[in-house]
A and B are shown apart, each in its own frame.
Chain A
Amino acid sequence: MARRTRLLSATAVVAGASLALVGCSSGSSSDDTAGSGDGAVTLQFWGWATGLEQAIEVWNEENPDIQVDFFRMTGDDGAKIPAAIDNGTAPDVVQMSVHSIPSHVIANRLTDLTEQVGDLEDEFTPASWANVTFDDKTYAVPQDFGPNALMYRTDIFEQYGLTVPTTWTEYLETARALKAANPNAYIAQMSPNETGYWIADVWQNEGTWFGIDGDAWTVDVDDEASQEVAERWQTLLDEDLVKVVDMWTPQYWAEVNAGNIATINYAAWFPALLEANAGDLAGKWGVAPSPVDEAGSTAAGAGDSSVDVIPTGTENVAQAAEFLTWLNTSPEALDILITDGSMFPAATTGLASEALAQPNDYFGGQVINDVFVQAAENVPASWVDGPVYDLVQDNIKDEFAKVANKQQTFAEALAATAAYAKDQLESQGLNVK
């Protein structure tokens, strides 16, 4: 999520500054309306997803008693959230990365929403719902989702007579065949800095980094599910079948544009970024389901997604929950977010929406979201975030960098990060099994 905000902010730095001013001024004026005694409340909402303004406009027209005042987060605005909540100046609703939930919960920053939104479980896919529920308590409402699918270069596959792999075994064979045909071409990239890429593969394999066992956290960074994925990546790296390059760098996009990367197995929000950074490759990409372990399986992984939370200290929990329920489950709001914001929604209503099933010109007119929707429905409900997620993510980046430099193996990296994760949990006084 940090990445996506960064990318958005890159184009919106100037706009962001003026919006910040707008946010401030409208904030003070709305307090006046709230104080006028007509029972109306004004909710402050900090978020970054595109299309939120349009959706909120509709809500505000229909709900004069619950007005929403939106502030668009750019750059490092997310870093202000903890301090704002701790000092009682937080907005009523905040969009954040799904991975951040537990670290905020243990710091008493999030309102337990089980009572208000607990019955929304059926509105979301099992994976999305599992992400916001910890120890049977719900702390957030899922907003968007990033299920994985295989984006592949149709022209390269055609040129070398390759077929799109459906299993990881076929994927490996395809990688070898491609390398043999063109030494400069790689089946994929290995990016130590993009942990989401790794997480998605582990998730597809029904793995996780953390878990809850009774009154204790478990660290699963190097469990069997992760080890199996590590083995696959180790083969790809050892046989020089993947291009080692950090993702999102100018070099990365240069490699993509040069046709050196034939497939990208990533999230539903990636195609928009691909189009923005590799516009010349329009019509040369296709989307297929991610390869799976065994033929017949439909399991898919998922990259980063975002949720909406209600910080502790807000007085308008009921109203905020009502707004969030509308925003993230009503067909009306979801259609706006999909159409105006190009959002890939977490709600099943959104997944079934006509607005989502539109042909994509960049992908030669293919209805790519059909593939992503199918993936969304098949992401295992296995992933659990832990309170030290951010540190662990930073640590595994550094360990994977050593793997990329051939200084250690994936298995060694996982062991190192698992030990680090346990250390960090214990140093906070938390129970670890």
Chain B
Amino acid sequence: MTTTAAVPTVARTSPRRRRGVGGGQRRAPYAFLAPFLGLFAVFTLAPILLAVYSSFFQVKRSGLGFGGDNTLTFVGFDNYVRAIGDSGFVAGFGRMLGYGVVQVPLMLGLALVLALLFDSAVVRWKPFFQLSVFLPYAVPSVVAALIWGFLYQPRVSPIVEGLHAMGVPVDFLAPGTVLWSLANVAVWSVTGVNMVILFSALQSVPREIYEAARIDGASELRTALFIKIPMIAPSLVLTFLFSIIGTMQLFNEPMTMRAITSNISGDYTPNMAIFQTTTLGGDANLGSAMAVVLGLVIFVLSLVVQKATNRKRGAQ
């Protein structure tokens, strides 16, 4: 449908296009790209280069440090050695890995099931429920963490008080549970937006395929499992990738919840450790090295996920 509609448009513009071929034609894409490239260079590329550069330096002081003879010295990979040797920083990666292994599949599974339900004919009041699922995403993460913080706290939370009254001695903020309480906030926040991505992917699958499946006698469940999910695999990979990146960069929620529980340490996530080093420790050089390490880890993880999924799809 869309392709046939596009044909006359192309036909109508093609003569003008031919006339326009020349220098201006070739420059046009760059002119349109310029605002993006300019901002990208200033706010993404330059900071990255600056961070990499400053990660190779250290401020050297002596004695009490009151003399004022602070010199910026080239130290090679010293900061990287320190970053990787910082057990708190490394532990943050392990924590996020454990968190990701549980939170990402859970959240994506939920998003997928919801998307499939909304795509099928079983759900009534579709727009209302879709909006309800999506709405938490519109709540800023700091606000989400504050709201859930209240719900996790004894004495002020109706949930905790209710469970206590029923004889369930639950503590959402204990050392062993607080990570999963954080994961819960993330699931609540981002399931909706992932559902929307998967749902729109489902909507773009040609309906004829479903009809063919139905004529072949496939049930709704079989259609979902063997047709719909494989058809939207690229979107699943995309959401999976974004979720992993989001997990490794977790900052707002634990930072906010740290205000209500000491069981979230100052270097709970890699980003929090970077913040601690840079802001509290005033060591932007070491902080830069840590940020580069975090960037590399995310890069490698993304690469692994892409390679793995490519191979899998190739095999199919």
Q: Which residues of A contact B (CB under 8 A)?
A: 79, 82, 103, 105-108, 134-135, 137, 192-193, 212, 215-217, 246, 248-251, 254-255, 258, 387-388, 390-391, 394-395, 397-398, 400-401, 404-405, 407, 424, 427-431
CB distance B64 to A397 under 8 Å? no
A246 to B149, CA, bound (A): 13
Contact of B68 with A108 in the complex, beta carbons under 8 Å: yes
Interchain CA distance A49-B157 in the complex, whole Å: 34
Of A404, A407, A428, which contacts B59 at CB under 8 A?
A: A428
Q: Check B262 against A79 for contact (C-beta < 8 Å).
A: no
Minimum CB–CB distance from A18 to chain B (whole Å) comes to: 22
Task: Identify 7 residue pairs between A and B in the complex whose beta-carbon atoms are under 8 Å apart, listed by A's number.
Answer: A137-B66, A395-B266, A404-B262, A405-B263, A428-B59, A428-B61, A429-B61
User: Known: A251-B155, A430-B63, A430-B65. Is A398-B262 also a contact (CB below 8 A)?
Assistant: yes
Beyond A108-B68, A251-B260, A401-B175, 13 extra complex contacts between A and B, CB < 8 Å? A82-B282, A106-B64, A106-B66, A107-B70, A216-B63, A250-B150, A251-B155, A394-B280, A398-B262, A401-B262, A405-B174, A429-B62, A431-B62
Q: What is the CB-to-nearest-CB distance from A358 to chain B, in angstroms, rounded to a whole number?
A: 33
Which residues of the other chain, B, contact A105 by a CB distance below 8 angstroms? 65-66
Q: Looking at the complex, which one of B62, B64, B262 makes contact with A135 (CB distance below 8 Å)? A: B64
Cβ proximity bits B66-102 to A, threshold 8 Å, 1 near / 0 not: 1010100000000000100000000000000000000
Q: How far is the CA of A108 from the CA of B279 in the complex (A)?
A: 17
B306 within 8 A of A: no
Interface residues on B, range: 20 to 34
Beta-carbon contact of B262 and A388 below 8 Å: no
| Residues 156-203 of B contacting A (Cβ, < 8 Å) | 156, 174-175
**In chain A, what residue has the closest Cβ to B65?**
A106
Is B141's CB within 8 Å of the partner chain A?
Answer: no
Contacts of B68 in A (CB 8 A): 108
How near does chain B come to A284, taking the closest CB pair, in angstroms? 19
Please name all residues of chain A whose beta carbon is closer than 8 Å to the beta carbon of B61 when the two chains form the complex.
Answer: 106, 428-430
- Please determine whether B266 and A254 come into contact, CB atoms closer than 8 angstroms: no
A137 contact set on B, CB distance < 8 A: 66
> A103 and B155: CB pair below 8 A?
no
A103 to B283, CA, bound (A): 11
Q: Is B230 at the interface (CB under 8 A from chain A)?
A: no
Q: Report the minimal beta-carbon distance from B198 to chain A, rounded to whole angstroms.
A: 37
Could you tell me if B66 and A134 are in contact, using CB atoms closer than 8 angstroms? yes
Contact A394 B266 (CB under 8 A): yes
Q: Are A424 and B266 in contact (CB under 8 A)?
A: no
Output the least CB separation between B229 and chain A (Å).
43
Contact B60 A429 (CB under 8 A): yes
A249 to B276, CA, bound (A): 22
Residues of A within 8 A of B154 (CB): 251
Q: Does B261 contact A (CB under 8 A)?
A: yes
Interface string of B245-273 (1 = CB under 8 A from A): 00000000000000111110110000000
Bound CA–CA A387/B61 (angstroms): 12
Q: B281 in the interface, Cβ–Cβ < 8 Å?
A: yes
B130 contacts the other chain (Cβ, under 8 Å)?
no
